[in-house]
Amino acid sequence: MAPPAVIPEDPPAVRVPRGRLYSVDLAATTAAYPFGRETFTRCEDAERFIDEFRRDEPELAAELTIAERELSVDGSR
């Protein structure tokens, strides 16, 4: 039989991860995207999305931009 688990009195500090998200705002361009935003973890993916969108809807794609946003798990941003 295994000994009971020991829970430390002071747990180690939790590191809150931070990162960047890249979003493309679509709300102003088309009703085909009901949430109005596509979000990516890599800027290259957001750029690729705009390139693909440009092939299908060149006039609408001219208005698209990539917004860089900071992300943290604690919701501070």
pLDDT tens by residue, 3-57: 665 555 655 554 545 688 888 887 655 666 656 788 898 999 999 999 998 898 8
Tokens of 48: 């690729």
Amino acid at 70: E
DSSP secondary structure letter of residue 74: T
C-alpha–C-alpha distance, residues 24 and 46, integer Å: 7
pTM of the complete model: 0.60
Do 17 and 43 contact (CB within 8 A), yes or no? no
Query: What is the rounded distance in angstroms from the CA atom of residue 19 to the CA atom of residue 31?
Result: 29
